[in-house]
């Protein structure tokens, strides 16, 4: 099936899914990572991506970023084919205190999100400054925007990363383990911010995580990768003993306690949650 | 009483400066150009944490220059060939700093050893030998100035267009890649430019002292500012001051340039260090408590 985009369809805007996968498959040689994935994510929808290491969560992000091609099937963002370096996508990587020795302020990090990919000289204009201030304000980071990045806490750096992703006014936010190495206080603050952001700006959020509980009250749907398949549905549909046991092909137990989910036997909790590793798998 | 012959006058005097300056204008111009190159490229070396790579590259540049001296070909070209070889190997092998440092640790003594071999075999003027390691350009010929200016122009022509994506890739490689920045290709391009800059700097201050122009001025500037643009401006100012100041100060005593260049550059760093400390203590790095966001984690200390 091929979809041609007409100006009328573009004008409809919201009618178009923000992310659309159609019978998508990723295989590395003989090994099929996942196959038959059909997925429509609406603008403003918050979707968590779960599954054990190497099941293809990060690869899904790489496909949407145009860094990895589908073996077969279709992928569209805003109704258009994916494009490397698209400004329609904001990308929030995991929090690591930026270990670069570079002299840089939070404001500069956001500026890189705006035009860091542009060649040549960038002159400071009022319009540029206003855009950066807008993004900083949207995440509540104006207060420390001029402090050196190396002096900020993990939570503050993660706020700035969200501002950096927002500054191009994207329709999709791809978050790759954005809560990793944050304490529970900062985890809640960051998930709250992402939730507020997607509602205010009508941005579809794809949120890769090992830890469902911090986002459980906020997500609309879950994509669960395991065993070469992807299971898609609401948390209540997906996170049950029966569904996950079927997906894994063995006994997986899901317990609910005090609004928290506990999953036994799914090997969800990775010992090496490095995003690069599964891409190479 | 030999000791009496050494006084402050031995190290620092301005005798006949008026007569000497016109004779060394070529060196001064070379100093300005080198200061501009070194000061401009310094912030990127700083951002990419390449100080050790600069040192390793300079030793291979030395080996190339020593070989060129022995074979009687252009020392300038030898220095460039050596440092480009090092830059390409480093760019190719080590993307991650951890692996890179091991590579440099292996290349550096090898380059130095090759250089020593060719210097030992060389039977010409011994001041030429000394110059490669510790630097000496007293009488710069106009052809050297031209080649220096050409290399500077090449460096600028490459660096200016790629500066911003390169900075993005240095500070924030994951997001830069997501935004379509060709991270690896830029890294290679920068190593080549760095190789050229090192080869030029080796000829002023020598292989052992290259860091004083490529690293120290930026490190000093980083004590004074957190604004990337100001960092570049100050870094260039400090590097030019060190290079030109070093040449001028060395004239009266008639000693090599390099100790003066390194000392000026080190003193600038010390002054900036003290200013930075004082400002830090006065709360220069404190941010105003104006965050009244409901989840303001600004209050959280680190």
- Reported ipTM: the value is 0.85
CB A67 to CB B178 under 8 A? Answer: yes
CB B181 to CB A89 under 8 A? Answer: no
Structure-token pair, residue B219: 């490190």
Is B130 part of the contact surface with chain A (CB cutoff 8 Å)? no
Q: Indicate the burial class of A122 (C-beta count within 10 angstroms; 0-12, 13-18, 19 or more).
A: middle
Q: CA of B205, closest CA in chain A: separation in Å? A: 26
Structure-token pair, residue B118: 């060719």
Total-model pTM: 0.85
Q: Chain A residue closest to B43 (CA)?
A: A102
> How open is the CA angle A162-A163-A167, to the nearest 5 degrees?
120
Q: Indicate the burial class of B293 (C-beta count within 10 angstroms; 0-12, 13-18, 19 or more).
A: middle
Q: Chain A residue closest to B227 (CA)?
A: A104
pLDDT band at B147 (very low <50, low <70, confident <90, very high): confident
Is A161 part of the contact surface with chain B (CB cutoff 8 Å)? yes
CB B165 to CB A148 under 8 A? Answer: no
pLDDT tops 70 at residue B300:
no
The pLDDT of A236-243, averaged and rounded, is 89
Look at residue B137 in the predicted model and tell me its pLDDT: 56
All residues of chain A having their beta carbon less than 8 Å from the beta carbon of residue B177 are 67
* Number of Cβ pairs < 8 A linking chain A and chain B: 139
Helices A106-115 & B142-171 angle (0-180, nearest 10):
100
Tell me the C-alpha to C-alpha distance, in Å, between residue A11 and each of A43, A109, B102: 14, 33, 56
Q: CA of B211, closest CA in chain A: separation in Å? A: 17
Contact between B257 and B135 (Cβ < 8 Å): yes
Is A159 part of the contact surface with chain B (CB cutoff 8 Å)? yes
Look at residue A281 in the predicted model and tell me its pLDDT: 34
Alpha helices, H only, A25-74:
57-64
Q: Which of A229, A257, A56 is nearest to A244 (CA)?
A: A229
Tally of helices (H runs) and strands (E runs) in chain B: 14, 0
Structure-token pair, residue B93: 């092998």
Residue B164 has its nearest CB partner, among A103, A118, A152, at: A118
- Which of A50-54, A84-88, B38-42 is the most confident on average? B38-42
């Amino acid at each position: 099936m091929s979809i041609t985009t007409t100006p009328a369809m573009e004008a409809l805007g919201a009618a178009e899914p923000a992310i659309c996968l159609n019978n998508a498959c990723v295989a590395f040689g003989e090994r099929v990572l996942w196959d038959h994935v059909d997925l429509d994510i609406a603008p403003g929808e918050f979707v968590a991506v779960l599954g054990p290491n190497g099941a293809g969560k990060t690869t899904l992000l790489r496909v949407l970023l145009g860094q990895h091609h589908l073996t077969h099937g279709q992928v569209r963002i805003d109704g258009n084919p994916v494009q490397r370096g698209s400004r329609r996508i904001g990308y929030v990587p995991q929090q690591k205190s930026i270990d670069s020795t570079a002299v840089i302020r939070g404001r500069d990090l956001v500026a890189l999100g705006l035009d860091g990919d542009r060649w040549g000289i960038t002159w400071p204009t009022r319009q540029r400054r206003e855009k950066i201030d807008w993004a900083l304000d949207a995440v509540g980071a104006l207060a420390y925007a001029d402090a050196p990045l190396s002096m900020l806490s993990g939570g503050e750096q993660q706020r700035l990363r969200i501002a950096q992703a927002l500054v191009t006014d994207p329709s999709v936010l791809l978050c790759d383990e954005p809560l990793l190495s944050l304490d529970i206080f900062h985890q809640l603050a960051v998930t709250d911010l992402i939730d507020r952001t997607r509602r205010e700006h009508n941005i579809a959020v794809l949120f890769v995580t090992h830890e469902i509980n911090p986002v459980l009250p906020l997500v609309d749907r879950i994509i669960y990768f395991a065993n070469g398949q992807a299971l898609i549905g609401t948390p209540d549909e997906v996170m049950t003993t029966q569904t996950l046991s079927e997906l894994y092909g063995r006994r997986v137990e899901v317990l609910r306690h005090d609004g928290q989910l506990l999953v036994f036997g799914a090997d969800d909790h990775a010992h090496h949650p490095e995003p690069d590793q599964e891409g190479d798998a | 009483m030999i000791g009496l012959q050494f006084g402050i006058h031995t190290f620092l005097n301005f005798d006949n400066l008026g007569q000497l300056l016109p004779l060394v204008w070529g060196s001064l111009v070379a100093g300005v150009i080198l200061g501009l190159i070194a000061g401009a490229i310094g912030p990127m070396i700083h951002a990419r944490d390449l100080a050790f790579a600069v040192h390793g590259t300079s030793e291979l540049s030395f080996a190339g220059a020593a070989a060129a001296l022995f074979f009687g070909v252009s020392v300038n070209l030898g220095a460039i060939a050596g440092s480009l070889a090092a830059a390409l190997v480093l760019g190719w092998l080590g993307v991650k700093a951890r692996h890179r440092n091991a590579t440099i640790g292996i290349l550096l003594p090898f380059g130095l050893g090759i250089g020593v071999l060719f210097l030992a075999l060389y039977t010409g003027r011994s001041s030429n030998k000394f110059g490669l390691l510790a630097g000496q350009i007293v009488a710069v010929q106009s052809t050297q100035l031209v080649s220096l200016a050409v290399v500077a122009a090449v460096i600028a022509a490459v660096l200016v267009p790629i500066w911003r994506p390169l900075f993005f890739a240095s500070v924030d490689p994951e997001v830069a890649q997501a935004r379509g920045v060709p991270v690896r290709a830029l890294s290679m391009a920068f190593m080549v430019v760095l190789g050229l800059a090192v080869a030029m700097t080796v000829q002023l201050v020598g292989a052992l002292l290259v860091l004083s122009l490529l690293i120290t001025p930026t490190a000093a500037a980083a004590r004074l500012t957190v604004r990337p643009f100001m960092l570049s401006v100050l870094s260039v100012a400090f590097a030019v001051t060190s290079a030109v100041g070093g040449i001028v100060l060395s004239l009266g005593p008639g000693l090599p340039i390099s100790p003066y260049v390194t000392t000026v550059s080190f003193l600038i760093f010390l002054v900036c260090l003290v200013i930075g400390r004082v400002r830090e203590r006065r709360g220069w790095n404190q941010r105003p408590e104006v965050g009244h966001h409901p989840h303001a984690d600004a209050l959280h200390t680190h």
